Structure 1
Amino acid sequence: MKLIQSGESIMTVKLHLASVFDNPNCLLGRRNRNQFLVTLLVNIATFSHGLGVGWMSPVMRDLQTEDSPLDFPVLVDQVSWIGSVVGIGSVMGNLLAGFLQDRIGRKLVMLFIALPYTVFWFLVYFVQSVEFLYIGRLMAGITGGTCYVVLPTFISEIADSNVRGRLGSMILLSVNTGVLAGYIVSTSVDYFTSPPFIIALPVCYFICIFLFPETPHHLIRKGKVEAAKKSFMFYKNITKDDIKAESEFEELKYLLTKEQNEKTKSFNYKDFITKPAFKAYASAGVLLMSNQFSASFCVTTYLSDVFAASHTTLNLSMCTIIIGALQIVGNYVTTLLCDKYGRRILMLTSTSGASACLLAFGTFTFFAATTDLTMVGWLPLVILSLFVLFCNIGMVGCLFVVLVELFPAKIRSVGVSTFVVILSSTVFLTLKIFPICMAVWGISITMWCCSGITFAGFIYFFFFLEETNGKSLLEA
């Protein structure tokens, strides 16, 4: 009797698992399994990039102290360059990826990503002067900039529309996981101990890229139909003839060929001055302004300095790690909700919540400068934790998903590449001026200004941002 009941229980579990995996929205389902696995593998690059960003945050503060691990002094102005030069590298990476990905393919560009990142850690380890750190951060920026152009394009082309949002949002989830790992490594391990081990990451990434094919979209555009069909079957995890899959592939080939022919015949400046194009420019511009001038990336980069200026009574290393963990939580929430509830509601929640947190943080630091608030010295951590959480469920987590979906198909490649370059340029600007603003205006006024810009983004999104969830990338 017990054996029968045990057998029935096992059968019930198997049936339940089968029903879960048969769900077309399940990332581990048969149809989506390879898409999910490949997305995880390519995001080794974004994890590595985030690890470098997180590792540098506490290090930059240590370089200015008497306990600096280096044999030469690093001044405040030099630290601002170490922090911001990553933006210049990011622009270079954006331009490089934008120029090459349609010419040589997404896969070859992704292979290149490993090179500058490896150079970054070599320069960090063999540092002889501050110029080594400048060039190293430039290399790290090239890695990040290349990732932020080619990976959203690659993932959007291999993913089904019902899981595209979740897979695309994993880019920032992976970055923030890396940032947390960087915080932990930097505060737990000696400066010269970690680089030799971290260099293994780009090596593993480089090897993994060889395991899967180029996207079917790119192969079709290059006229390699048989290779495109094999690629399509791989990413849809189809191992034998399937009439429905054959029909899907033929439809994809027809639409891409038609799009290619139309581009060849009629692609001109008029495609960039249509009403849908201008709506995309406006929404993308506000999205980038909200993302950068909310200080989301500045807080991540200069987190130790921000906490030091907030009059908190808590341990700075502990605060840094908690914030890193909450970045991951915010991005994970995005992966769960962006396909279910849409992008618009997440953007509204993100901008309104982040604006309120910045206002609260500025107000706390304003009064803490003249009043003893040690009784609530934990409050800056709570406010910044909520701020990071709100930023990452929309403005950060959905950034590349929404950016790709905003533009009409005919100008999508140029539009996304252009705005990512603008984003990277803005990263350099904000990282350069943020510590200066804190020094000249004080942290309170700086945070209030960021709050106002973020709230303006909320107003725009409330009235003008259209939902893009479920939109086909071949729609005009």
Structure 2
Amino acid sequence: MKLQMKIRSMFSNPNCLLSQRNRHQLLVTLLVNIATFCHGLGAGWISPVMRDLQTENSPLPFEVYVNEISWIGSIVGIGSVVGNLLAGLLQDRIGRKLVMYGIAIPYTSFWLLIYFAQSVEYLYVGRFLAGMTGGSSYVVLPTFISEIADANIRGRLGSMILLSVNAGVLTGYVVSTNVAYFTAPMYIILLPICYFICNFFFPETPNHLIKKNKFLEAERSFRFYKNIQKDDQHSMSEFEDLKAQLIKEQDLRGKSLTYQDFINRPAFKAYASAFVLLMSNQFSGSFCVTTYVADIFTASHTTLDVNMCTIIIGVMQIVGNYVTTLLCDKYGRRILMLVSTSGASLCLAAFGIYTYFAQLYDLTSVGWLPLFILSLYVFLCNIGLVGCLFVVLVEVFPNKIRTAAVSTFVVILSFTVFLTLKMFPICVALWGISVTVWCCSGFSLAGFLYFLLFLEETKGKSLLA
């Protein structure tokens, strides 16, 4: 009896993701994140495969050289830029749902090109299309989730984007090391098809429908996502408030949105925070480690099996992101960003010291240390810099310029993805792994200092403010 009362009490808690009001929001968030899982799976799968393509055991009928590997790794960033721009231009015009349908097409094409590859150009085009899927997802999904989620669970639902990406990365690591090159695509291609079908089971966001003056559809959408009946007067008053605020905002935007809205003090403060957030995220090496993890472990002189190390790193990414979903709405975004940047900086400095001395001395007795340091680094990165990235990016901007600003900064993020993925193997070749990770450590430390002094907490912030 007591157990039943506790369960009933837990489900009646408005902060519980499985409560009656929140469960549709959670379910839809899980369904749309099949797309980000797919994107992560492709990114994780390619990392060990790139190492194999450079050996005589390559599964492909053509040779792949170091310079081509750097393009295979980095061209995903260019695809992301194109995906960002397309999603940013279309999501307010044709709706979030139609853009989300389109995400499945380039990803399906990616695996077809992987399977039928006859030259390195097939891999270039495939990675470009995979980047389009990721870039589109990173624009439309944070917007979609923020518009269907209640403020008290928005952080947890938003952080699931990166959680599902990292779950996909881990799956990709496991698949690439245990499943033959030509077997994997035949099964993985079913995932984007499932994602496409799942999109039929839930409506467009009420926010977008209100902006298109489709008020009856917007009301049905609101009731679906809040899981309420039409006779729930309190909840329906929320819909009327939302409707009034969005109509007022749209009228103001249509009449008075000028360049001055983009050059005032709150806007500049938001630009600075968003810029530092993106630079810290990318130049701390978080995505480079995911992409080149097998090569990094090889360069670290570890005595452990590289494939095993790669899978453990994938696990730590998921653990870090899961911790974010638990702590983001409870303790806030700022503290997680501070812990993440300071911890990442220390771990990278330690990893650089280890690899420096590993070239001079025999450190086989502590050959496990690179795995420990990188695992801790990945965990700390994912509790803030990665896990809270899109949550903070959406919340930091004033409502009036949010759509344009977020879209712009996601494009900048994609450019930096391309830049860092292209530069990282070149820097390792020129400077060595130690100096390269020390530079990344410096960027993380700079991010920590900025967040400590200037970043404001956005937990519970209304997106209409």
Shorter-chain TM-score bucket reads over 0.9
Percent pairwise identity? 73
Q: CA deviation at 1:12?
A: 2.3
- Amino acid aligned to 1:401: V
The equivalent of 1:3 in structure 2 is none
3-state SS of paired residue (2:39): helix
Q: CA deviation at 1:13?
A: 2.2
Q: CA deviation at 1:132?
A: 0.2
- After superposition, what is the alpha-carbon deviation per residue over 1:371-415, rounded to whole angstroms, capped at 9, x for unaligned? 110000000000000000000000000000000000000000000
- Amino acid aligned to 1:223: N
Q: Aligned partners of 2:53 and 2:359: how far apart in 1?
A: 26
- After superposition, what is the alpha-carbon deviation per residue over 1:321-371, rounded to whole angstroms, capped at 9, x for unaligned? 000000000000000000000000000000000000000000000000011
Q: CA deviation at 1:71?
A: 1.0
The equivalent of 1:15 in structure 2 is 5
Q: Aligned partners of 2:455 and 2:226: how far apart in 1?
A: 32
1:223 and 2:213 are equivalent in the alignment: yes
Q: CA deviation at 1:140?
A: 0.1
The equivalent of 1:6 in structure 2 is none
CA contact (8 A) 2:348 2:377 kept: yes
Further displaced range: 234-243 or 281-290? 234-243
Q: CA deviation at 1:239?
A: 2.7
- Amino acid aligned to 1:407: F
- Amino acid aligned to 1:172: L
Q: Aligned partners of 1:341 and 1:246: how far apart in 2?
A: 30
Q: Aligned partners of 1:453 and 1:423: how far apart in 2?
A: 15
The equivalent of 2:236 in structure 1 is 246
Residue 416 (structure 1) aligned to one of 401, 406, 416: 406
Q: CA deviation at 1:245?
A: 1.1
1:92 and 2:82 are equivalent in the alignment: yes
Q: Aligned partners of 2:17 and 2:99: how far apart in 1?
A: 26
Q: How many correspondences in the alignment?
A: 465
The equivalent of 2:353 in structure 1 is 363
- Amino acid aligned to 1:441: W
- After superposition, what is the alpha-carbon deviation per residue over 1:450-471, rounded to whole angstroms, capped at 9, x for unaligned? 0011100000000000000000
Q: Aligned partners of 1:338 and 1:245: how far apart in 2?
A: 25
Q: Aligned partners of 2:359 and 2:273: how far apart in 1?
A: 38
Q: CA deviation at 1:240?
A: 3.7
- Any residues of structure 2 matched to 1:25-424 within 5 Å, and which? 25-424=15-414
Q: Aligned partners of 2:230 and 2:461: how far apart in 1?
A: 29
Q: CA deviation at 1:439?
A: 0.2
Q: Aligned partners of 1:71 and 1:262: how far apart in 2?
A: 60
- Normalising by structure 1, we get a TM-score of 0.97
The equivalent of 2:429 in structure 1 is 439
Q: Aligned partners of 1:52 and 1:147: how far apart in 2?
A: 14
Q: Aligned partners of 1:19 and 1:256: how far apart in 2?
A: 34
Q: Aligned partners of 1:265 and 1:193: how far apart in 2?
A: 56
1:471 and 2:461 are equivalent in the alignment: yes
Q: Aligned partners of 2:246 and 2:350: how far apart in 1?
A: 50
What is the CA RMSD across the aligned residues, in angstroms? Answer: 0.5
Q: CA deviation at 1:16?
A: 1.4
Q: Aligned partners of 1:298 and 1:70: how far apart in 2?
A: 24
- After superposition, what is the alpha-carbon deviation per residue over 1:225-282, rounded to whole angstroms, capped at 9, x for unaligned? 0000000000000134111012100000000000000001100100001100000000
- Amino acid aligned to 2:330: K
- After superposition, what is the alpha-carbon deviation per residue over 1:270-308, rounded to whole angstroms, capped at 9, x for unaligned? 000110000000000000000000000001000000000
- Normalising by structure 2, we get a TM-score of 1.00
1:459 and 2:449 are equivalent in the alignment: yes
Q: Aligned partners of 1:221 and 1:433: how far apart in 2?
A: 42
CA contact (8 A) 2:230 2:236 kept: no
Further displaced range: 239-248 or 223-232? 239-248
Q: Aligned partners of 1:239 and 1:197: how far apart in 2?
A: 40
Q: Aligned partners of 2:391 and 2:50: how far apart in 1?
A: 31
3-state SS of paired residue (1:104): coil
Q: Aligned partners of 1:314 and 1:471: how far apart in 2?
A: 46
Q: Aligned partners of 1:14 and 1:40: how far apart in 2?
A: 27
Which ranges in structure 1 are unaligned for 5 or more consecutive residues? 1-10
3-state SS of paired residue (1:344): helix
Q: Aligned partners of 1:127 and 1:20: how far apart in 2?
A: 52
Q: Aligned partners of 1:258 and 1:376: how far apart in 2?
A: 63
Q: Aligned partners of 1:81 and 1:170: how far apart in 2?
A: 29
- Amino acid aligned to 2:163: L
Q: CA deviation at 1:215?
A: 0.2
Q: Aligned partners of 1:170 and 1:324: how far apart in 2?
A: 16
Q: Aligned partners of 1:119 and 1:445: how far apart in 2?
A: 38
Which ranges in structure 2 are unaligned for 5 or more consecutive residues? none
Moved over 4 A (4+): none
- Amino acid aligned to 1:114: A
